Amino acid sequence: MGQMVEFPANGATASGYLALPPSGHGPGLIVIQEWWGLVDHIKELCDRFAAEGFVALAPDHYHGKQTRSPDDAAKLFMALNIAEAGKELRGAADFLIGHSAVMPKKVGALGFCMGGQLALYAAATHGDRLACAVDFYGIHPKVTIDPATVSIPILGHFGLKDGSVPVDGVRQLAAQVEATGGSFQVHFYQAGHAFFNDTRPQAYNAEAATLAWERTLAFLREKLAG
């Protein structure tokens, strides 16, 4: 359904996978990769969101690199320059806002694992470009979120059996965002990390994934409506 595109990002050029909805127009959505890179799973998710009416763009934060090896993924994950990734996310938002297919001119950010934390980062740093963000079990040790800087609505999906993302930490961050005037709606599932990734049978939880998908679509449609 989509194709690779290039877009400006802070004086440089970034690339990503862009999928358009059948209607030819819709709100924008940045889909942020897991630590594996811009793999087919992420492109297929862009296609799924496009089929639901969104103009979906997945930036390639690893610049062509991808892997199926957890060890290699961990190295790419830790080597990611967060500031540069943030510039690419802002560039992606600007690209979507300026795209003729994006109507209304609203953009959300959504990500999984590493991408979930980057979606939060984008919400905290680029609230002037984004209308909302969705965090699927976000984690990255180099990304710390200041709750006071989160000015757009957040939806979060987390697994109660996820040993890499402490539940208490999620609840605390959500409460802090709410206490400073923001909105952070959190859902917890009887599932582990990466429960939405249907290409990983050992992690995928169909019941949790289906419910999270339905909640995500409802949230995005509400926040990105004209």
39 vs 3: CA distance, rounded Å: 13
Domains of the chain and any CATH numbers: 2-223 (3.40.50.1820)
Q: What is the pLDDT of residue 55?
A: 98
Which of 155, 143, 136, 132 shows the shortest CA–CA distance to 204? 136
Does the pLDDT value for residue 139 go beyond 90? yes
**10: alpha, beta or left? (left if phi > 0; alpha if psi -120 to 50):** left
Q: Stretch 154-172: mean pLDDT, rounded? A: 97
Q: What is the pLDDT of residue 79?
A: 96
Which of 125, 123, 149 shows the shortest CA–CA distance to 138? 123
**pLDDT, tens digit, for every residue of 20-73?**
999 999 999 999 999 999 999 999 999 999 999 999 999 999 999 999 999 999
Q: Stretch 199-207: mean pLDDT, rounded? A: 97
188 vs 159: CA distance, rounded Å: 6
In the block, tokens 């994934």 appear at 209
Does the pLDDT value for residue 10 go beyond 90? no
Q: What is the pLDDT of residue 1?
A: 77
How many other C-beta atoms can be found within 10 angstroms of the C-beta atom of residue 15?
A: 17
Largest CA distance in the chain: 44
Is 46 labeled as catalytic in the residue annotation?
Answer: no
Is 25 labeled as catalytic in the residue annotation?
Answer: no
Q: Are 116 and 32 in contact (CB under 8 A)?
A: yes
Residue 226 pLDDT class (50, 70, 90 cuts): confident
143 vs 138: CA distance, rounded Å: 10
Q: Which of 113, 135, 140, 157 is catalytic?
A: 113
Q: Stretch 185-200: mean pLDDT, rounded? A: 98
Q: Prior bond to 104 cis, omega within 30? A: yes
126 vs 105: CA distance, rounded Å: 15
Does the pLDDT value for residue 138 go beyond 80? yes
**pLDDT, tens digit, for every residue of 79-136?**
999 999 999 999 999 999 999 999 999 999 999 999 999 999 999 999 999 999 999 9
Q: Stretch 151-156: mean pLDDT, rounded? A: 97
pTM for the predicted model, two decimal places: 0.97
